[in-house]
Amino acid sequence: MKKKDELIWLMPTIFIFIILFMIKFCTPKINKKYIVSKIKRENLELFENMKGTVAANNITKIGLDVNLSVDNVYFKAGDFVKKGDIIVKFSDYQKSDDVEKRALLVIKNAQLRNLEKQQKLGAEVSKKIQEVKGEIDGLELEVKNEMKNAVLVQRTVRSPFDGYIVKINAVKGGIINKNEPVVVLTKKNDLKIISESMTDEKIKNLSIGNMAEISLFRRENKKAGEEKTLEELVEVKNDKSEKGFKNRDNKGNLDLFSEKKVIEAKLFKINKVVNMNVLEFLPISFRDLFLSEQVDIRVIYRKKENVLVVPKKAVIFKNQKKYIYLIDKNNLVKEREIFVGVDNGEKVEIFGMNIEEGMEIVENPDDKIANNVIVERKNIQDEEIEKKKRMEKLENENEKIGNKMNENEREIIRLKKK
């Protein structure tokens, strides 16, 4: 009787062991690794993406009232200038009273011709002619001396504020036209973002006042050996943090997008151009903007707050229903029917029975995924380490190629000199 009681107490343990054994050895496995992420609760935004350019919102024109020759030009369109910087220098000759004396000389010569005509007609004007000729000789001598002693005067156009050169109508050695501005400037804090041309369909959900995220990419060129560390380049904290991407040119130098910045802007104007539309945005901050810079624009036109979301690719549609695939700590997949709400093309709102924040799901399901199968998790950290190793190897190879090309170029120059 005692042995029988002991056996009864052991039965649940044996049963559990059998179940675990069946799960481990009898449940089908997929020989493929899948990305596992969590159901999140967050604000879901609907948006439109587009390209854009930083442009001047208001401009200041600087011109001259005379035509002058250009001695030198120190900046070009798009450059940033500080208040007081010399942008263009001109050369001109000091005229002083020379202009007035030349005008008087013209009058006296006309007076002389008129007196000579009167003399031919019989008028007695000899004395008057002699007086006018004397005045003309004196004026000619004065003009000649002033031209001989003329002083070269240099005039300049300076920036009246910190800002950008939108346009410059000056070329070294050329002559400025007084009828057009020499320089067109805009203040640093007077910039806007202009979108590419958009169809009516593309902007149908947008309206004045919509907020936008403006993504800026900073390009940085560095020579081999001066680049950032590999860890700095591949590290990605979040969508608004620094991101690194790099390529080498044929000389081994780096062409590096060293960082990505995101600033906010507000849609304030929609311009109709034939059958297309151009949108204008005013940035909240100007600190990171540069004139003529190319940017990415994401206009947010609707926001649903505090909803359960998953990546759109995590949702599978079959048999007229939608499913996600939950995964437990033992990597066992559970198919779960869901309903979807707001969809922004990247993430989708979900809801259904027993769907909660923090549940793990298969982010990249395929036709192999099914209910009650065991999957392997894809280790993103291991992939990053492997990626770093591959990048280091390729960079070392590229650096060797770059150094070899530089040696070849120096040898070619040496041989040409001989």
Does the model's pTM come out above 0.85? no
Burial of 258 (C-beta count, 10 Å sphere; 0-12/13-18/19+): buried
Query: Which pLDDT does position 79 carry in this prediction?
Result: 93
Helical packing angle, 98-120 and 126-148, nearest 10°: 160
Q: What are the angstrom distances between the C-alpha of 394 and each of 223, 243, 248, 249?
A: 16, 19, 10, 13
Instruction: Give the chain's domains with CATH numbers.
Output: 43-54+190-377 (2.40.30.170), 68-187 (no CATH)
Characterize 312-336 residue by residue with b for buried, 16 or more Cβ atoms within 10 angstroms of its Cβ, and e for exposed: eebbbeeeeebbbbbbeeebebebb
3-state SS, residue 389: helix
Reading phi first (left if > 0) and then psi (alpha if -120 to 50, else beta), residue 319 is in: left
- Give the H or E element holding residue 271: strand 254-273
For the chain, the first-to-last Cα distance in angstroms comes to 110
- Give the H or E element holding residue 217: strand 211-222
Q: pLDDT (tens digit, 9 = 90+) per residue, 278-302?
A: 999 999 988 888 999 999 999 999 9
Please name the residue that has the structure tokens 């179940």: 19
Q: What are the angstrom distances between the C-alpha of 122 and each of 113, 115, 196, 309?
A: 15, 11, 82, 111
Query: Which pLDDT does position 198 carry in this prediction?
Result: 93
Please name the residue that has the structure tokens 């940085």: 220
The CA angle 299-301-306, to the nearest 5 degrees, is 110
Q: CA-CA distance, 308 to 293, in Å (whole number)?
A: 37
Per-residue pLDDT of the chain (418 residues; tens, 9 = 90+): 555 555 566 666 666 666 655 555 556 777 788 888 999 999 999 999 999 999 999 999 998 877 788 889 999 998 999 999 999 998 765 555 566 777 788 888 888 888 888 888 888 888 888 888 888 888 888 877 776 665 556 688 999 999 999 999 999 888 888 888 999 999 989 999 999 999 999 999 999 999 999 999 865 544 444 444 433 333 333 333 334 444 444 444 444 445 788 999 999 999 998 889 999 999 998 888 899 999 999 999 998 899 999 999 999 998 899 999 999 888 899 999 999 998 988 999 999 888 999 999 999 898 888 888 888 888 666 667 777 888 888 888 888 887 778 788 777 877 776 6
Beta strand 29-34 with 374-377 is parallel
With beta carbons less than 8 A apart as the criterion, state whether 236 and 265 touch: no
Query: Which pLDDT does position 21 carry in this prediction?
Result: 56
User: DSSP letters along 126-170, please?
Assistant: HHHHHHHHHHHHHHHHHHHHHHHT--EEEEEEE-SSSEEEEEE--
Q: CA-CA distance, 150 to 93, in Å (whole number)?
A: 6
